[in-house]
């Protein structure tokens, strides 16, 4: 029961990170130099230097399951669920996350209703798969940031956002780039410490059009090898 509560806390952490881009205030515009006539010329916002992953014109899709294999051509990869794990339907995923928010209001620094609104407007959860025996789980989600950012800026915000979850102590945080299944991911790994129990978390993130897609692995017993589970379409 204790481990299950910890897993749910980490799910809350994912919610907090998904909403962080929507709930933070955008930066104030910088003062531009004065030009002839006493007028100012606005300083243009820098454009991202990284191009989003090409989707070859594939339309947005929630993807589909065939047995234990989830395929999403829009995202550009497929996920093979480990044997013995359980997958949630879209309805079960929504019920799970809404229930977590409703029953853990004391964990948030942000107003719960505002957080719900931010998540519903910016985040989509494609997959939730769990080993019911150990609590290890894998989530696949996308977020549309409130403003245009590069992949590096998004990962920096993700790292900063870990501190918004007051009930989880994140240590050994590392940001890197990792090739998984033929896809180059921006990766954040960390150890999550809750109530004396430690477990590994990893965020594998790629830009897809105007979204950032993350595969989030919470591993309670060193049982997940992501390279066996993700492959490029």
CB 140 within 8 A of CB 214: yes
In 3D space, the residue among 132, 29, 138, 32 whose CA is nearest the CA of residue 80 turns out to be 138
122 versus 39: which is more confidently predicted?
122
Burial 133-168 (b: 16+ CB within 10 A, else e): ebbbbbbbbbbebbeebebeebbebbbebbebbeeb
What's the mean pLDDT in 54-80? 88
The predicted pLDDT at position 32 comes to 43
- pLDDT at 120 > cutoff 80: no
Per-residue pLDDT tens for 131-176? 999 889 999 999 888 888 999 999 998 888 887 777 788 999 999 9
Per-residue pLDDT tens for 37-60? 555 445 445 444 444 454 557 888
188 burial level (CB within 10 Å; 0-12, 13-18, 19+): buried
Q: Which of 9-23, 43-57, 84-98, 137-151 has the lowest mean pLDDT?
A: 43-57
Band of pLDDT at residue 103, cut at 50, 70 and 90: low
What's the mean pLDDT in 63-79? 95
**Distance between CA atoms of residues 78 and 126, nearest Å:** 12
In 3D space, the residue among 135, 91, 87, 117 whose CA is nearest the CA of residue 18 turns out to be 117
* Domain boundaries along the sequence of the chain: 2-21+52-232
Correct CATH for 2-21+52-232 of 3.40.1000.10, 3.30.450.20, 1.10.357.10, 1.10.1470.10: 3.40.1000.10
115 versus 74: which is more confidently predicted?
74
Band of pLDDT at residue 231, cut at 50, 70 and 90: very high
What's the mean pLDDT in 87-99? 86
């Amino acid at each position: 029961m204790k481990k299950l509560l910890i897993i749910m806390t980490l799910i809350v952490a994912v919610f907090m990170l998904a909403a962080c881009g929507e709930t933070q205030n955008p930066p104030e515009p910088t003062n531009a130099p004065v030009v002839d006539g006493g007028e100012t010329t606005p300083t243009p916002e820098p454009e991202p230097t990284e191009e989003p992953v090409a989707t070859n014109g594939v339309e947005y899709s929630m993807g589909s399951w065939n047995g234990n294999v989830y395929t999403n051509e829009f995202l550009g990869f497929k996920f093979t669920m480990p044997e013995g794990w359980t997958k949630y339907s879209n309805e079960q995923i929504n019920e799970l996350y809404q229930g977590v928010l409703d029953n853990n209001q004391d964990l948030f620094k942000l107003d719960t209703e505002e957080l719900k609104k931010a998540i519903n407007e910016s985040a989509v959860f494609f997959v939730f798969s769990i080993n019911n025996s150990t609590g290890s789980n894998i989530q696949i989600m996308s977020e549309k940031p409130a403003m245009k950012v590069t992949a590096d800026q998004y990962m920096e915000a993700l790292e900063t956002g870990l501190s918004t979850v007051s009930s989880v102590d994140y240590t050994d945080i590392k940001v890197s780039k990792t090739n998984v299944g033929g896809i180059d991911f921006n990766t954040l790994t960390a150890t999550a410490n809750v109530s004396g129990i430690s477990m590994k978390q990893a965020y594998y993130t790629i830009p897809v059009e105007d979204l950032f897609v993350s595969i989030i692995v919470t591993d309670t017993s060193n049982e997940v090898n992501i390279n066996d589970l993700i492959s490029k379409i």
